[in-house]
């Protein structure tokens, strides 16, 4: 597996034995054109409508999970990370019931996986933009596993399934991973790098040439980061919907759920945005 020569697969309704073998070895797999460009455009409209609704009502948290805010290159506010986005959109909620997504759960065998629309952070929409007032330009090295420890449970296998809504060639930044690190021991999983603080490239990392409509899947135990775009403004824009596929006990979130400790730490580091209030009763599909 090389930085500039990585296989891109095509999903035909099921995970093939060779695709399963590849994923188990590297902990990552990319499917080209999982949805067509018309569907990408539809999802972009839906995510913008969800964002507009949250901004209009001044919502800062959804089910206890803080939203991340920033300003574009014209100074307009926008939301850079939306949790539980499908709870505000029947279109996005219906997508989570797509049989093709359900077929991905075989990657978690022998565990029984499920799409967690109402658990963890639900359907997350990440919106990266490199501007002076953007709060979300990059993301440091991390795995997705310590969340289980913070929530008082043992680390369980999970998938992070990313549907990409913008083209993002390798040279534009974006997802970087350390292939095979999903098979590391607990010590390396927790201490291989400084969580979220370390942004340095790793000589073993690989990136991706992403086209809008592509799907990437990575094992939650895999070390990964998001490289900041070398460009600013529109050329740096990168939007991804992340669908968590999880295992373990069912733990749904609701409007009264507390903010997890690791999110409270992240809030301290985020610069303040215009005053807003939480409106839990709006937490419903629109």
Query: How high is the pLDDT of residue 60?
Result: 94
Query: Does 46 sit behind a cis peptide bond, omega within 30 degrees of 0 on the bond before it?
Result: no
**pTM greater than the 0.85 cutoff:** yes
Query: How high is the pLDDT of residue 235?
Result: 94
Report pLDDT digits (tens) over 46-78: 999 999 999 999 999 999 999 999 998 888 999
CA 100 – CA 243 distance, rounded (Å): 13
CA 22-39-97 angle, 5° bins: 65
- The runs of H, that is alpha helices, within the chain are 17-26, 37-56, 90-95, 99-102, 146-150, 186-191, 261-269
Report whether 55 contacts 77 (CB < 8 A): yes
Which CATH superfamily, name and number, covers 17-252+260-269?
q2cbj1_9rhob like domain (2.60.120.620)
Q: Say which residue the tokens 């972009």 belong to.
A: 44
CA 286 – CA 58 distance, rounded (Å): 16
Query: How high is the pLDDT of residue 21?
Result: 97
Query: How high is the pLDDT of residue 260?
Result: 76
The DSSP secondary-structure symbol of 168 reads B
Average per-residue pLDDT for the chain: 88
Ranges of residues in the chain with a pLDDT under 70 are 1-5, 147-153, 261-286
Report pLDDT digits (tens) over 174-213: 999 999 999 988 878 888 898 889 999 999 999 999 999 9
């Amino acid at each position: 597996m090389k930085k500039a020569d990585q296989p891109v697969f095509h999903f035909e309704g099921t995970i093939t034995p060779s695709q399963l073998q590849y994923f188990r070895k590297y902990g990552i797999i990319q499917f080209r054109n999982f949805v067509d460009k018309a569907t990408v455009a539809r999802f972009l409209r839906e995510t913008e409508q969800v964002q507009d609704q949250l901004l209009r009502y001044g919502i800062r948290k959804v089910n206890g999970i803080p939203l991340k805010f920033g300003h574009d290159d014209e100074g307009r506010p926008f939301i850079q990370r939306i949790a539980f986005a499908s709870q505000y959109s029947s279109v996005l909620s219906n997508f989570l019931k797509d049989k093709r997504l359900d077929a991905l759960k075989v990657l978690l065998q022998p565990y029984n996986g499920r799409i967690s629309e109402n658990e963890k952070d639900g359907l997350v929409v990440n919106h990266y933009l490199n501007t002076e007032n953007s709060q979300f330009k990059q993301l440091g090295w991390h795995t997705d596993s310590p969340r289980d420890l913070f929530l008082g449970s043992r680390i369980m296998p999970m998938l992070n399934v990313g549907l990409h809504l913008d083209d993002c060639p390798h040279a534009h930044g974006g997802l970087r991973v350390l292939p095979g690190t999903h098979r590391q021991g607990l010590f390396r999983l927790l201490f291989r790098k400084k969580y979220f603080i370390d942004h340095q490239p790793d000589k073993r990392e690989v990136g991706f040439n992403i086209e809008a409509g592509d799907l990437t899947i990575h094992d939650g135990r895999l070390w990964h980061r998001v490289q900041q775009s070398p460009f600013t403004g529109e050329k740096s824009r990168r939007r991804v919907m992340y669908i968590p596929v999880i295992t373990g006990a069912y733990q749904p979130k609701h409007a009264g759920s507390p903010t997890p400790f690791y999110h409270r730490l992240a809030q301290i580091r985020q610069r303040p945005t215009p005053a807003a209030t939480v409106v839990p009763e709006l937490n419903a599909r629109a």
